[in-house]
Amino acid sequence: MKFNIALLAGDGIGPEVIDQAVKVSDAVANKFGHEITWKPALTGAAAIDAVGEPYPDETHDVCANADAVLFGAIGHPKFDNDPSAQVRPEQGLLKMRKKLGLFANVRPTFTFPSLLDKSPLKQERIEGTDLVFLRELTGGIYFGEKGRRDDGETAYDNCVYTRAEVQRLAKKGFELAMTRSKKLCCVDKANVLETSRLWRETVQAMEKDYPEVEVSYEFVDAVAMRLVQWPNEYDVLITENLFGDILTDEASVISGSMGLMPSASMGADIALFEPIHGSYPQATGLNIANPMATILSAAMMFETAFNLPEEGKAIRDAVNRALAEGIVTEDLADGGKSYGTKEVGDWLASNI
């Protein structure tokens, strides 16, 4: 098969880790007889510096015409702590999600047996944890009307959801639950928010279409607690944009393998794959960043966007072997021998 993949390296360590994912993806394509054409495009602070905005139209065209998007990371310290900055890398991210219609962010959290001791949680609490958040990504308070009134003394942000937006996200949740343990948790704040009541009633009405799925409804504050107490009691969780932002980041810590966690953002037409970690500016150019999360995001791309599970598995197997044999960057080396970003990428590519 032939694929065009938009390649958005972004800022900080983005370019370095993306390079390794390209290398490994090419090795997979080579082995299985596919042909990948990479289409690099600018995004984030890098795009602001080059053309004055974080998600330029040319970049959108490249993405919209690709079979999938592989994304590194964005964000640069020069834009932080400056509430008055007019252009921010994050705006590019939001614009990209909206224009590409990426309404479902898929964030798995799972454990690697050899890394259990890296978790801040006790081992008996996390053993067997394998959960997936589906976060709504193009609605809610992120995209509602926002602004100031009273000469700037009053600020407002509007949170809005339509039933159709909830349905399409929940549908993905039910479908995902059917391929897993058939347990779905709808996370909301229905005791306070009208949007949450719409979420809850919409999901309740869909239950009859998936009689095998056992659905629970929990308040976001309760989930924030229980996630840390007994993460392995959860399987598939669906939630709105802002709750998802907070809870997926909380969940990413649980397994102790943050540097290894991939994610996908899916729309009707196209999907984007990216590591959950950020642009890690301090490590830029030092050849120390862990490329595995980006490489596992490429595995998710083969599995989900191209429906090629064998190819995805080839990548996962290589990563597991690297972990077992200690071919890891310093974050996983426990003070022992460690390898550079590039060396880990090379090893994985040659072990596909």
Ligand X SMILES: CC(C)[C@H](C(=O)O)[C@@H](O)C(=O)O
Q: Which residues bind ligand X (CB under 6 A)?
A: 90, 93, 191-192, 221, 245
**Residue 157 makes contact with a copy of itself by CB under 8 A:** yes
Name the binder of 158 from a copy of itself, ligand X, none, CB < 5-8 A by kind.
a copy of itself
Of residues 130, 113, 121, the one with CA closest to residue 235: 130
Q: Does 142 participate in catalysis according to the annotation?
A: yes
> Is 57 part of any known ligand binding site?
no
Tokens 């597991």, residue?
320
**Residue 87 makes contact with a copy of itself by CB under 8 A:** no
| Total site size for a copy of itself, rule CB under 8 A | 63
Interacting residue with a copy of itself among 217, 287, 326, 340 (CB under 8 A): 217
Q: CA 52 → CA 73, 158, 280, distances in Å?
A: 18, 28, 22
The residue among 260 and 305 lying less far from a copy of itself, judged by its C-beta, is 260
DSSP state of 223: H
| Catalytic choice (49, 61, 221, 334) | 221
What type of residue sits at position 114?
S
Written as six digits, the tokens of 200 are 């809850």
User: Rg of the chain's alpha carbons, rounded to an integer?
Assistant: 20
Segment near a copy of itself (CB under 8 A), from 9-17, 97-105, 157-165, 206-214? 157-165
Name the binder of 324 from ligand X, a copy of itself, none, CB < 5-8 A by kind.
none
**Nearest 5°: phi and psi at 333?**
-90, -5
* CB within 8 Å of 198: residues ≥ 6 apart: 161, 163, 166
- The neighbour count for residue 72, using CB atoms within 10 Å, is 28
The residue among 35 and 221 lying less far from ligand X, judged by its C-beta, is 221
Q: Does 221 participate in catalysis according to the annotation?
A: yes
Q: Does 317 participate in catalysis according to the annotation?
A: no
**Residue 247 makes contact with a copy of itself by CB under 8 A:** yes
The residue among 220 and 314 lying less far from a copy of itself, judged by its C-beta, is 220
Interacting residue with a copy of itself among 34, 182, 197, 316 (CB under 8 A): 197
| Rounded Cα distance, 180 and 235, in Å | 8
Give burial (CB, 10 Å; 0-12/13-18/19+) of 33: exposed
| Rounded Cα distance, 352 and 349, in Å | 6
Q: Does 249 participate in catalysis according to the annotation?
A: yes
| Rounded Cα distance, 53 and 84, in Å | 16
Name the binder of 146 from ligand X, a copy of itself, none, CB < 5-8 A by kind.
a copy of itself
Q: Does 150 participate in catalysis according to the annotation?
A: no
Long-range Cβ contacts of 79-88 (<8 Å, 24+ apart): 79/45, 87/48, 87/52, 87/53, 87/54, 88/54
CB of 243 to a copy of itself, least distance (A): 8
The residue among 213 and 237 lying less far from ligand X, judged by its C-beta, is 237
CB of 119 to ligand X, least distance (A): 21
Interacting residue with a copy of itself among 1, 51, 192, 286 (CB under 8 A): 192
> Is 269 part of any known ligand binding site?
no
CB of 191 to ligand X, least distance (A): 5
Q: CA 344 → CA 28, 113, 258, 319, distances in Å?
A: 16, 20, 17, 9
| Rounded Cα distance, 252 and 212, in Å | 28
**Residue 200 makes contact with a copy of itself by CB under 8 A:** yes
> Is 107 part of any known ligand binding site?
yes
| Catalytic choice (23, 39, 172, 189) | 189
Annotated binding site for Mg(2+): 221, 245, 249
Annotated binding site: 97, 107, 135, 221, 245, 249
Q: Which residues are catalytic?
A: 142, 189, 221, 245, 249
